[in-house]
């Protein structure tokens, strides 16, 4: 007789090792996957936005075989619930575990007032793409991962050399300015809603907790911040994968200042800084439906698409 799938809620602290171990085994086939560390769960639990009620573990015969996360911030105006998973270990696949986890995640989001559920899968993961379609999800957006080797930094590609780049830190004034720029620059983006300022300040002051190197810059025009850039080096990722790679963690320019080469200048600064720090390549992620067509700027600077990810949405009927 086949074992029955049992779903239970994740208990912070008690289940951390079980969660990390199961999650890591389930996602080991993901390209360039870096295993989750137990201490990262401890960090997540301290954040203002952690939602334990949306975290679930699947078991067969009392053994953990899968996880799923379903999160919906209570203050979100968009009422979109986001799902990470289901993540099922290889030996438990095609036994109804993923479907049971998905039903639980959708039920949890519905009970908390979500009207839409969003999940996704990479273009390399054909089974996951089929799974989402099977459960009624429809494609909504695609995202591209773009990469560039760090060789000679190009010039004459439309960059604005008059813009001033100013490093910034974690003072109340600096973080408040960063928060304001993000809100204004990304207001047209798909499913965007900025963290409340108090939570954003917490995020800014704890961004380095994972041990990564971050550099932050404002783009100034006539002394006024009109854009921002966050450069990241994930040391643990680089060590695990045996690479020397940096990231464009975040980049944005106010709408009224676009088309003036400011974003291009920020990208070139990224190349210059990462090269100076001994990196060999740089990666970023972009929404292919981005209203600014940012991918065109990235291509002009030498980035190329190496992988794509599709976001899927499912309308949720009101909880009766």
DSSP string, 53-105: GGEEEEEETTEEEEEEEEE--TT-SS-EEEEEEEEE-GGGTTTTHHHHHHHHH
1 pLDDT tier (thresholds 50, 70, 90): very low
Give the model's pLDDT for residue 122.
95
Q: Is the pLDDT of residue 75 over 50?
A: no
* C-alpha span between 157 and 161 (Å, rounded): 11
Q: Is the pLDDT of residue 169 over 80?
A: yes
Q: Indicate the burial class of 66 (C-beta count within 10 angstroms; 0-12, 13-18, 19 or more).
A: buried
Domains in the chain and their CATH numbers? 5-114 (3.40.630.30), 146-308 (3.40.630.30)
Q: Is the pLDDT of residue 259 over 50?
A: yes
196 pLDDT tier (thresholds 50, 70, 90): confident
Q: Is the pLDDT of residue 272 over 60?
A: yes
User: What is the rounded average pLDDT for all residues in the chain?
Assistant: 92
Q: Which of 275, 272, 297 is nearest to 284 (CA)?
A: 297
Give the model's pLDDT for residue 77.
61
Q: Is the pLDDT of residue 320 over 70?
A: no
The stretch 211-229 carries a mean pLDDT of 96
Give the model's pLDDT for residue 51.
85
pTM of the model: 0.90
Please give the structure tokens belonging to residue 217: 């810059």
The stretch 143-161 carries a mean pLDDT of 93
Q: Is the pLDDT of residue 26 over 50?
A: yes
Q: Is the pLDDT of residue 305 over 70?
A: yes
Give the model's pLDDT for residue 55.
96
290 pLDDT tier (thresholds 50, 70, 90): confident
The stretch 283-296 carries a mean pLDDT of 87
Per the model's pLDDT, the better-predicted residue between 43 and 253 turns out to be 253
The stretch 210-226 carries a mean pLDDT of 94
DSSP 156: S
Per the model's pLDDT, the better-predicted residue between 147 and 48 turns out to be 147
* C-alpha span between 99 and 106 (Å, rounded): 11
Give the model's pLDDT for residue 154.
92
């Amino acid at each position: 007789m086949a074992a029955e799938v049992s779903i239970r809620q994740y208990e912070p602290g008690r289940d951390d090792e079980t969660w990390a171990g199961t999650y890591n085994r389930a996602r080991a086939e993901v390209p360039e996957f870096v295993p989750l560390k137990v201490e990262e769960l401890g960090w997540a639990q301290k954040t203002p936005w952690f939602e334990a009620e949306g975290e679930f573990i699947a078991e067969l015969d009392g053994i953990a075989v899968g996880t799923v996360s379903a999160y919906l911030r209570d203050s979100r105006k968009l009422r979109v619930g986001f799902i990470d998973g289901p993540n099922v270990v290889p030996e438990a696949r095609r036994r109804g575990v993923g479907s049971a986890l998905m039903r639980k995640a959708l039920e949890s989001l519905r009970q908390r007032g979500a009207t839409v559920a969003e999940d996704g899968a990479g273009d390399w993961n054909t089974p996951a793409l089929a799974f989402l379609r099977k459960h009624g999800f429809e494609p909504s957006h695609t995202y591209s991962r773009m990469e560039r080797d760090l060789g000679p930094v190009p010039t004459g590609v439309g960059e604005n050399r008059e813009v001033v780049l100013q490093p910034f830190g974690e003072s109340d004034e600096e973080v408040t300015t960063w928060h304001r720029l993000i809100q204004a620059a990304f207001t047209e983006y798909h499913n965007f809603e900025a963290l409340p300022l108090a939570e954003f300040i917490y995020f800014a002051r704890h961004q380095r907790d994972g041990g990564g190197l971050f550099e932050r810059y404002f783009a100034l025009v006539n002394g006024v911040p009109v854009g921002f850039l966050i450069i990241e080096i994930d040391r643990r990722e680089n060590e695990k994968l045996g690479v020397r790679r940096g990231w464009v963690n975040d980049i944005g320019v106010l709408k009224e200042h676009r088309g003036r080469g400011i974003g291009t200048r920020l990208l070139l600064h990224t190349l210059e800084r990462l090269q100076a720090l001994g990196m060999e390549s740089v990666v970023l992620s972009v929404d292919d439906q981005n209203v600014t067509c940012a991918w065109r700027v990235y291509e002009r600077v030498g980035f190329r698409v190496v992988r794509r990810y599709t976001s899927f949405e499912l309308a949720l009927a009101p909880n009766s």
